[in-house]
Structure 1
Amino acid sequence: MDIHIWYTLLSAKYGAIMGARARLGEIRSIEMVHKRFESFPEAFVKNLVSPQSTD
């Protein structure tokens, strides 16, 4: 059971480092946070809601 916990922690740390190196999801200012929150609903509908449900 302990090996699962250590694997989860190690893979999360490795993934965080790789994501930081690739600059994934990087937000440099509070204004960027506001812009992301404003564009989130449109992106959600575009990518996750089926066109049939909007009729």
Structure 2
Amino acid sequence: MLSLLAEGLTAASIAQRLSISVRIVNTHLEHLYRKLGTSNRLTTVLVAREAALV
């Protein structure tokens, strides 16, 4: 999920690639925000890159 987010894909594109619903993608994003202490996609990707998660 993080790598797809880092590629700049939309929630719909991520859902299509992973064969899941957009709602599940958004739920996963919310969990990532909470775990990484972020509140948006850009900051999440930056924090993930700094932590070598992507």
TM range (shorter): 0.3 to 0.5
The TM-score with structure 1 as length reference comes to 0.33
> Between Structure 1 and Structure 2, whose CA radius of gyration is higher?
1
TM-score, normalising length from structure 2?
A: 0.33
Q: Which has the higher contact order (CA 8 A, sep 6+)?
A: 2
